[in-house]
Each structure stands twice: as C-alpha cells, then as structure tokens.
Amino acid sequence: MEDKSHTVGTFQVGDYAVFAALFVVSSGIGVFFAIKERKKASSKEFLVGGRQMSCGPVALSLTASFMSAVTVIGAPSDVYRYGASYVIFGVAYTFVVFLTAELFLPVFYRSGITSTYEYLELRFCKLVRVAATLIYIIQTILYTGVVVYAPALALNQVTGFDLWGSIFATGIVCTFYCTLGGLKAVVWTDAFQMVVMVVGFLTVLIQGASRAGGIESVWSTAHTGGRMDVFDFDVNPLRRHTFWTLSVGGTFTWLGIYGVNQSTIQRCISCKTEGHARWALYLNLLGLWIILFCAVVSGLIMYTFYSRCDPWSAGSVSAPDQLMPYFVMEILGAFPGLPGLFVACAFSGTLSTVAASINALATVTYEDFVSQCYRDLSNRAANWISKALCVVFGVACTTMAVAASYMGGIVQAALSIHGMCGGPMLGLFSLGILFPVTNLKGAVGGLIVGITLSFWVGVGAFIYPAPSNNTRPLELSTAGCNFNLTADGSNQTSVSVSALTSDRYWLADSWYSMSYLYYSAVGFIGTVAAGLLITLLTGPMDPKKVKPGLTRSVKDVICFCSEKFMHADFNLSILNDLGDFGMAWEKHTDTEGVIKMEEKVKSDNDNLHENGYTNAAFDHNETSQVKQSFNFLTK
C-alpha cells in the first residue's frame, strides 16, 4: 500500500545530539561495570549481579523494561482513538505485582535457581524444562525484533529519522553494554533510561497541554468526545476494551509477563534479600502507574489538539502508531533538541526491553543448556561463554528486526506471539506451584492444550479480523481540516460490517472476535483445566513426593498480611515466613527433602564465597531458617 504519511519536520543537529547522548551514556554504564567488576569473573556475577542488587535500581529496571517504545508510542494512540479506559490497566498492574510478589517470587527466590525453567525440572522433569526454554527463546527473539522495528518505522515515516541507523544502533549498543557489564549494567542503564522516559513524557505533557488550551480544555474536549467514559462494565468478551477485558484479561496477560517471565524473575532474584525483591516489585508498581498516567494524559491532550482535524482520517499519517510522533513533531518541532528528547524517550523503552531480553536469553541458554552439558566449566570459562551468548542473541534480535521489515502483516502476528505463549506458560507454572497433585503427564498435556487453544484464537483473529462494531474507534472529525482529504482518508475509521461478513468462517464473529486481552486467559485456563483433568485420569501425584519448597498454597498468598503482622509465637512465625517451605516440611515426615535443600543452599553459599562476596539472602534467610525449622519440626 502506498505510504501517505508525510513529515511535519525533520531532525536537526540538536535532536541528533540528544538522541546520541542516550546511546553514549548507556554504553558508558556498560564500560563502567566492566571495569568495576573485572575481578569477579563468574557467570553468577555476570548473569544475576552476584545476587547483591538493591530494590531501587531493580524497580526502575523492571518498569523501564516492560514499558517499551510500543507503550510510549502506541498507548497514547490507543487513548486517542478509544478513550481513557486504557487507565484500567492500572488495576491489572496492581493484581499482577501482588501475585508475583506473594505467589511466584517466594518459590523462585528461596529455591536459589537462576533460570525460572530450572524450576520445571525440579518439579516435573528435564523434558518440560527444555521445552519451556525453547518456547521462551523463540517468542522472545520474535518479540524483541519487532519491538525494535515497529517504533523505528513509525518514527522514520513521520520524523524522517533514519530507520536502519536506529535499528542497528539499538542492536549494537544493547549488545555492547550487556556483554561488557552483565546484569548490573542492564539494571543501572534501565534506571537511567527510565528517567529519560519520564522526562520525555513530561515535556510532551507540558507543551501539549499548553498548545491544547490548558488542562480544563483537555478535560472538557475529551469529555465531550466520549473519551472519559472509563467504566464500561459490559461483560461481552468480544468487546475490545471494557472494564473486564482490561482488568481481568490484562491481569492474565501481564502476569504471564511478570510472574513467570525469565527477564522479570532474573532481576528479582538478583536482589540481596527476598525483602528487597518484594520492594522492587512494589516500587515498580508505582513506576508502572506513572508511565500509564503519562501515556493516558498524552493521548487525551493529543485528541484535544486534533479534535477538529484528525490526521489519521485525513491521511496525514498512514498508521495509528504514527500519531504520537506526528503530534510531537508538530508541538516541539520549533524547539531544537526537544523532538530528539522524545525520540530518546521512545528508544529508552526499546533499549531497556532489548537489553533485558538479551541478558535473559543468555541466562536461560547458559543455565538450561550449556551448564547441563559441561558441568566442569571454570568460572572464567563460564563468564566468557555468557558474554559470547549475549553477542549471539544481540545479533539474533537485530537480525529479527531487519527481517520484520520484509514481513508485512506478519509483524502483527509476531507481536501477538508474546501474549499467546504467556498464558500457557503461566498455566504450567501455576500447575506446579498451586497444585501439588499435578503429575508429569498433566503438565505436558496441559501445556499442549493451552498453546493449541491460544494460538487457535490468536491466529484465527489475525486471519479473520473482528467486525468493526467490536473494534471501531470513537468518532474522529476532519471538519476543521484546511486541506483536501486523501483518497482513502474518509474511510479510515469506518469499515463495513457486511464487507467482513461475506465468506467468513462461522467462528469468525465469535471465537476469533474475542478481545486480544483474553488470549492469555484462554491459554491459562486451557492449560490448568486440561492439566488437572489429565492428572486425575492418569493418577494424581502424591503431594508428599513433591520436593520441599516447590509448591505454595493459596492460604499463604491470601492470608500473608494478617499472619505476617499479627503477634504469633516464635515457631509459627518461622513457618509463616517460610511460606510453602513450612507446609512442605510438615508433609514430609522423612528428612531427605530437607537435607537436599540444605545441601543446595550450602552449595550456593560455597559458590558465592568462592567468588569473593556473600549474600545475606542465602546466609541468613535460607541457611538459618532451614536449620531452625528443621530443628523445630524434628523435635
């Protein structure tokens, strides 16, 4: 299709200077940690920062990594077209962070694992671990490549910013500081990039509100245009965005990303204590709310500014994702350096996402494949292999970004893969953690069913787009435009339902028209339901045979507040602090599992001391509490 977009302005020297500064500082952080940590040559130091990170930088890193350029550019456009109901994602974020901190984190942190998929081998078998790791590697490379390409394309088409230069610069810089500085460089660079994102958003908010006539004008115009109708409680799952799709569907979608995703958990277990890891997640929630608020308000300001002349309907931009860059160039183009600041804001999201992905991919590949094949590697060899893997995956993600330019409509499908895989993976981990009776056959069968269902609905929706009555944007006007519409401009916001219904598959207007936010929920429910059914049919597993610490009861999650802050006696507080460990030891009348856990903790401690540092999380939390509880339970 012919590209009808045109640039509002072009980048000046000052814009390029601001953008270049982002890459220079990011690279500098990598060099700093490469020099600072040069004497700590071990894979654990490189991949998980020696498990000595504090909650502050980790919280900023988590927020920056999952608020990618897709959010910076795409979310305001979504609010512009569909209204401020997008803010309901804040409810989903709250549930997601709580469940991650209280359900999944304790299991992963206390088990001392580096790869989240190591848990699957401990709980089920090596086959499940390998399968899950391969799924993660494929979906992450696909998603990361598109995350680099999509915003670069939108910025190129509107601002004239060089497409290939930005793609290759992103890949090279991320690979550079990931390879040199490891996780510590990634975390601290993310923290810096998070600050850039907030500053960039604030610049747009201040100047945009001024140009739109002030906050009162923004509120009044948005309300008149129906953009402030936030609470739509329609339970119809075919509606794109309602309160329920955003809160319930959003919870499942983001829990698949936060709760069991290697990139998230890896940074949480890098914290010096479990308490720091929890605080990192809750502080990250504050960051998510801030970015969400900025994105929503930016969308409302943009709607007010274009309320009389929509550039999308008028054909000034050829795709909705170009709206935010177009708006920025129009309001900031007269100020040298400020358009560059917004591009730096957008690419901060890209850099943080790509860097986190490269580091996580290197970690799971080393832990789940390399270290399993070569168990006698020296610390120096393991460290160099980890660095080499960062280079390999940096090249792979950059190559995927280049390939995305030749995919056309496949890009949308590639972006959906992240969500379609997230639900089944969340279901698989939930089967292992919440249901001690789940056996190997149930886990494998459930995963297959879940992936089949989520890909069925996701791919079907790509082939048969939902009818426009479910996805049509709110009214957009071109009455105030002072130029002629393009040939296709008047058709941008209305698509004939009859045109879609002819020759459509009978599932197209029901199953395939489901809101995209329910894809993860479908995969999760399918995985858990099928997993439990297969388990019951093939013989449930004896909970006593599950290794200690690998399960966690719902009671531990729901009642943790009252149990934590009430004045319980000493022995009970030990069990409550240990959560599922206490319950597991109560079930195990023998001490074999406890001894194995003690041996694992001791092994991790020995490895930490060998490399020149100690870890309070292992020294105090794990070793001491294991011994105290063991003595108490065996009296």
Is residue 538, in this structure, part of any structural domain at all? no
Is residue 438, in this structure, part of any structural domain at all? no
Is residue 197, in this structure, part of any structural domain at all? yes
Residues 6 or more apart whose CB falls under 8 angstroms from that of 88 comprise 230, 243, 246, 247, 250
CB distance 268 to 280 below 8 Å? yes
CB distance 332 to 339 below 8 Å? yes
Is residue 7, in this structure, part of any structural domain at all? no
| The pLDDT of residue 182 | 87
Distance, in Å, from the CA atom of 351 to the CA atom of 341, rounded to the nearest integer, reads: 15
Range in 99-103, 198-202, 312-316, 562-566 with the lowest mean pLDDT: 562-566
* Digit-coded pLDDT (tens) for 510-562: 888 888 889 999 999 999 999 999 999 999 999 988 888 899 877 776 665 54
pLDDT at 145 over 60: yes
Q: How far is CA 434 from CA 107, 164, 211, 324, 529, in A?
A: 11, 46, 53, 43, 13
| The pLDDT of residue 595 | 43
Three-state secondary-structure class, residue 131 = helix
Total domains present in the chain: 2
Distance, in Å, from the CA atom of 131 to the CA atom of 127, rounded to the nearest integer, reads: 6
pLDDT band at 410 (very low <50, low <70, confident <90, very high): low
Distance, in Å, from the CA atom of 246 to the CA atom of 550, rounded to the nearest integer, reads: 31
Range in 229-233, 385-389, 613-617 with the lowest mean pLDDT: 613-617
Distance, in Å, from the CA atom of 405 to the CA atom of 566, rounded to the nearest integer, reads: 58
Distance, in Å, from the CA atom of 566 to the CA atom of 263, rounded to the nearest integer, reads: 34
Three-state secondary-structure class, residue 270 = coil
| The pLDDT of residue 8 | 54
Is residue 453, in this structure, part of any structural domain at all? no
The average confidence (pLDDT) of the chain is 81
Distance, in Å, from the CA atom of 378 to the CA atom of 383, rounded to the nearest integer, reads: 9
Is residue 176, in this structure, part of any structural domain at all? yes
Read off the CATH number of the domain in which 316 is found: 1.20.1730.10
Is residue 475, in this structure, part of any structural domain at all? no
* Digit-coded pLDDT (tens) for 187-206: 999 999 999 999 999 999 99
| The pLDDT of residue 221 | 94
Question: Residues 357, 360, 362, CA angle at the centre, nearest 5°?
Answer: 105
| The pLDDT of residue 349 | 84
Is residue 65, in this structure, part of any structural domain at all? yes
Domain coverage including residue 591: 554-633
Phi, psi angle pair for 6, to nearest 5°: -140, 155
* Digit-coded pLDDT (tens) for 18-73: 988 998 999 999 888 888 877 766 777 788 888 889 999 999 999 988 877 778 88
pLDDT at 300 over 90: yes
Greatest alpha-carbon pair distance for the chain in Å reads: 86
Rounded average pLDDT over 619-627: 40
pLDDT band at 418 (very low <50, low <70, confident <90, very high): confident
Q: What is the DSSP string of 193-240?
A: HHHHHHHHHHHHHHHHHHHTT-HHHHHHHHHHTTTT--------TTSS
Q: Choose among 548, 543, 590: nearest CA to 439.
A: 543
pLDDT band at 143 (very low <50, low <70, confident <90, very high): confident
pLDDT at 575 over 50: no
Rounded average pLDDT over 104-124: 93
